[in-house]
Chain A
Amino acid sequence: MSLKYEDVVAKYEPVMGLEVHVELNTNSKMFCGCATVFGAEPNTQTCPVCLGLPGSLPVVNEKAIESAIKIGLALNCKVAPFSRFARKNYFYPDMPKNYQTSQYDEPICFDGFLDVEIDTEEGAKTFRIEIERVHMEEDTGKSLHMGGATGRIHGADYSLLDYNRAGIPLIEIVTKIIPGTGKYGPEVAKAYVAELRDILRSIGVSDVKMEQGSLRCDANVSLRLIGADTLGTRSESKNVNSLRSVERAIRGEMIRHAELLNAGQKVKQETRHFQEDTGLTRSGRSKEEAEDYRYFQDPDLVPVAPSAEWVEELRKSLPEKPSAHRKRLQEAWSVPDKEMAAMINADLLGTVEATVNLGADPTKARGWWLGEISRIANEKEVAVEELSIAPIDVAEIIELINKGELTDKLARQVVDGVINGEGSPAEVIAKRGFKVVSDDGALLSAIEKVCAAMPDVAEKVRGGHLPAAGALIGAVMKETKGQADAAKVRELLLGHLGQA
C-alpha cells in the first residue's frame, strides 16, 4: 500500500545530486598500455601496472586528459591550469593497489552547467543543472561471485576476479545539488543523464553504453517540505544503469523517503542498490563507521597543467552541441514541436537520425520507431534500445516499402521477425516466404482468373463504374494471399479492363 507519487510531490520536493561515471573509449588504459576491449577473455588485458604488482608505476594516458578536458568544456566548466592525482585509500579485492588513483581537491574541470529541457504541463521548460566537478580516475576489476544460490555477492562461497577492466579510464561528473525541480525531479534527472550521454557521444570520448557499464549513474536524493530551506537526509542509489532506471530509482526513493517521513521516521543516510527487476532500491551493507579514505597526492604521478593554448584548441574542436543539433534536425525534417519532444522523450532522436542517415524518409523513420517498434517495446516492457532491431533494419524496411516489395501489413510482420531474432529484413522475408507479388505476369494471371470468375463485376468496371473495382481487387489480394501491393493491383486491373 505505497504512497502515490502525486501525494509525495504535493507535500515534498526532491533535492537531487547526480554522479555519473563514464568509461572513456581510449585504446589503452588510464595508466598503462593494456588494451580496453570490452568482453575480452579474463585477465588477457593486464600488466604489472594494472595488476598492482610490486614495483610497478603509473603513467597517464594523454588521450584521457584530452577527453576529460573536452568533457569539461562541453559542460561549460573551467579547466584547472594545474591539477593533481590523489590516492583514495580503501581495501577492496577488485582494486589491485587497494587505493584508487583519482582526483580529490584538485579536479581537472569544475564549475560548469548543463541545460536540459523537458516537456511539462506548461510546455517545454529548461532546467539548469550545475556541475560541481569533472575528474579523472580509474575503473576497478570485475568479480564473479561463485557458489551460493543467487550468483550474487550475498551467500557466495568465493569470488573470481578478472582485472581486464581495472585501470580503464573513468571520468566522474558530479553535479551540485539540484533543487527546484518539484514533481519533475525524476524526469529532469533522466533528461540530464540523456543529455550528458548525447554530449559525450557527440564529442566522441565514450561508447556511452549504459548496458555495458560504460556510463553509470549514482543518484542522491533527499526530500524536504515544499518551501523549506533545510536539506533532508539523503540516500545514494547506486547501480542505476539505464535512463529508465534513473527516473524509476529517483521516483522510488522519493516515495520511500516520503513514507518514512510521513510515519515520523528518519531517513537513514546510506548507500542503496537499485534493483532493475523490482525498480526499488535495497539497503547496502551498513558500515560501522564512515570510511576514512586518507586522500593524499599520488607521489607516483606529476601534476597536470594544460596550457591555455591547448585548452583553446580543444574548445575549437568540439562539435555542435546536441541541443543545437536538435534544432537543426527539427528544421530540416520539419517536425512539429510536440513530435520532436516525443522523440526526445522516448530517447529515439539519435535512432531516428541514424535511420534517416541511411536514406530513410524522416517522417517514415519516425513513424516506425515511435509507432510499431515502441508499441512492441511497451508490450515487452523493455526499452526500445534493448530490442534487437537497428536503424539499418528499419531503413531497409522503408526502402522495401518504397520499392513496392513490401506492404505496410507485411512490413509490420517483418519488424516482428527482426525483433524475434530471425535475422535481417531480407532474411525474415525469405524465411517467412513473404514476397510481394509485383511480377506483372503473376498479377495479371490472377486478375484474369478473378475477372473470369466474376464476369458481371468485371463488366461493370469495363463500363466505367469504377467503385465496383474494389470487389475485384479484394479477390485478387485474396488470390495472392495478401502478398500483392493493392495499388499495383488496382493499376493493373484498371488497365486490364480498359480504364487506365
Chain B
Amino acid sequence: MSSLTRAEVAKLAKLARIELTDSEMDALSSEFAVILGAVDRIQGAPLADVQPTSHPLPINNVTRPDVVIPSLTPDEALSGAPAQEEQRFRVPQILGEE
C-alpha cells in the first residue's frame, strides 16, 4: 500500500506552490495513506494492451482561422490586478532566470 511521507508531501507542496503548515502536512500524510490505498485498486485492473483515453470525445483538428478579434481594453485586462503600474501588472520581485 502506498503512502506519502511528510517529506514527500513537503516536496509536492513546494512543486504546487502551497506553503502548507506543519499540521496540514501531518494530516495530509495520514490522509494519503487512506486515499492512495483506495486509488491503488487501479493497479489490479486488467490494463494490459488497453489504450489510454485522455479525452472522451473522438474529434480532431478543431482550429480557428487566423483572424484578429478585439482584445480586452487594458483597463479590463488589469481590472483584477492586485497591483498595477504603467499599464502593467505589478508583481513582487522575481527570483529566477534572467
Which A residues form the contact surface with B (CB < 8 A)? Answer: 26-28, 32-35, 41-48, 51, 53, 59-65, 82, 84, 91-93, 143-146, 152-154, 156-163, 238-239, 271, 273, 284-285, 292, 294, 296-297, 299, 301-306
Query: What separation, in Å, do the CA atoms of A143 and B94 have in the docked complex?
Result: 9
Query: What separation, in Å, do the CA atoms of A47 and B72 have in the docked complex?
Result: 5
Per-position binary interface string of chain B over residues 37-59, scored 1 when its CB falls under 8 Å from any chain A CB and 0 otherwise: 00000000000000000110101
Minimum C-beta distance from B89 to chain A (A): 4
Q: Are B87 and A154 in contact (CB under 8 A)?
A: no
A-B CB contact pairs (8 Å), 15 listed: A42-B74, A42-B87, A43-B78, A47-B71, A60-B63, A60-B64, A63-B65, A91-B17, A152-B98, A285-B95, A285-B96, A294-B15, A304-B60, A304-B61, A305-B61
The answer to whether B77 has its CB under 8 Å from any CB of chain A is yes
Minimum C-beta distance from A291 to chain B (A): 9
Minimum C-beta distance from B3 to chain A (A): 20
- Chain B at the A interface: mostly helix, strand, loop or mixed? loop
Query: What separation, in Å, do the CA atoms of A160 and B78 have in the docked complex?
Result: 12
Q: Are B98 and A153 in contact (CB under 8 A)?
A: yes
Q: Which of B60, B67, B73 contacts A27 (CB 8 A)?
A: B67
Q: Are A302 and B74 in contact (CB under 8 A)?
A: no
Please report the number of residue pairs spanning A and B whose Cβ atoms sit closer than 8 angstroms.
Answer: 141
- Chain A at the B interface: mostly helix, strand, loop or mixed? loop
Minimum C-beta distance from A300 to chain B (A): 10
Q: Are B55 and A46 in contact (CB under 8 A)?
A: no
Query: What separation, in Å, do the CA atoms of A145 and B52 have in the docked complex?
Result: 44
Query: What separation, in Å, do the CA atoms of A63 and B63 have in the docked complex?
Result: 9
B59 to chain A: which residues have CB within 8 Å?
A: 302
A285 to chain B: which residues have CB within 8 Å?
A: 95-97
Q: Are B88 and A238 in contact (CB under 8 A)?
A: no
Q: Are B61 and A45 in contact (CB under 8 A)?
A: no
Query: What separation, in Å, do the CA atoms of A160 and B90 have in the docked complex?
Result: 5
A84 to chain B: which residues have CB within 8 Å?
A: 54
Query: What separation, in Å, do the CA atoms of A273 and B77 have in the docked complex?
Result: 32
Of the candidates B55, B57, B73, B85, the one having the most CB atoms from chain A within 10 angstroms of its own CB is B55
Given the contacts A160-B85, A302-B55, A305-B60, A34 and B71 also touching, CB distance less than 8 Å? yes
